[in-house]
């Protein structure tokens, strides 16, 4: 297991919409929690944002989405491991799709998102899921099949261009789960030792 503490290991499952990211994160969380790890799922903030405010159209909204995702991750700082179906580094990718490079302010905003992405990259163990399913309309998701495939390519291109180490996982759910476990480590009988204060241990011994 790569986790050494005190910071949690952040496992980022990346890919476009409808690639099975959330399902994989939830299954991994169950398996690791049952084994004794302090694990949790960090869901994408953008989904809640869309429900409340509508589809983000401006690159400047990516700063709000970045902060929202960052705070969700920070709220889980007590964990050994966090399974993220999104990551702050993706706000740069979404920024690319909405940026008008002829406008200086938007160009500067994209530069900032890029610098933040570069800063955050080392904090994740990254897995990429290639598209194996068609996009389903769930009433919230706004990408169609063509837009989703474009996003797939943009995410993978960003990882490749930045020379980011990542692992491609595909296949059915069981295959994907095992691939992640093989990469980050998994002890089915993992238990964190209970820290007993010296005075309590002494009192128990005296009795």
Taking the chain (207 residues) in runs of 10, the rounded mean pLDDT of each run is 69 88 95 94 92 91 96 94 93 90 95 93 92 58 67 86 90 96 93 57 52
Superfamily of chain region 9-206:
P-loop containing nucleotide triphosphate hydrolases (3.40.50.300)
- Specify the residue for token string 């909204």: 61
Distance CA 161, CA 186 (A): 30
Q: What share of the chain is helix, strand, coil (3-state, %, to 5)?
A: 50, 10, 40
State residue 182's pLDDT score: 96
Give the predicted TM-score (pTM) of the model: 0.81
State residue 198's pLDDT score: 61
State residue 140's pLDDT score: 46
State residue 163's pLDDT score: 85
CB 32 within 8 A of CB 26: no
State residue 5's pLDDT score: 58
Q: How buried is 150 (Cβ within 10 angstroms: 0-12 exposed, 13-18 middle, 19+ buried)?
A: middle
CB 91 within 8 A of CB 65: yes
Where are the domains positioned within the chain? 9-206
State residue 134's pLDDT score: 61
């Amino acid at each position: 297991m790569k986790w050494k503490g005190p910071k949690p290991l952040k496992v980022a499952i990346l890919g476009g919409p409808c690639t099975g990211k959330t399902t994989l994160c939830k299954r991994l969380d169950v398996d690791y929690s049952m084994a004794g790890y302090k694990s949790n799922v960090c869901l994408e903030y953008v989904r809640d944002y869309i429900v409340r405010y509508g589809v983000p159209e401006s690159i400047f909204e990516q700063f709000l989405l970045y902060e929202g995702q960052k705070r969700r991750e920070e709220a889980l700082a007590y964990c050994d491991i966090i399974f993220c179906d999104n990551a702050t580094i993706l706000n740069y990718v979404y920024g690319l799709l909405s940026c008008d490079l002829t406008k200086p302010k938007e160009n500067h905003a994209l530069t900032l998102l890029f610098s933040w992405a570069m800063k955050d990259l080392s904090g994740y163990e990254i897995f990429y899921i290639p598209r194996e399913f068609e996009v389903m309309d769930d009433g919230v998701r706004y990408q169609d099949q063509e837009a989703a495939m474009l996003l797939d390519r943009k995410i993978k291109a960003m990882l490749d261009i930045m020379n980011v180490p990542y692992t491609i996982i595909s296949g059915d759910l069981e295959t994907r789960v095992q691939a992640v476990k093989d990469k980050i480590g998994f002890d089915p009988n993992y238990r964190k030792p209970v820290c007993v204060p010296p005075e309590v241990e002494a009192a128990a011994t005296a009795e």
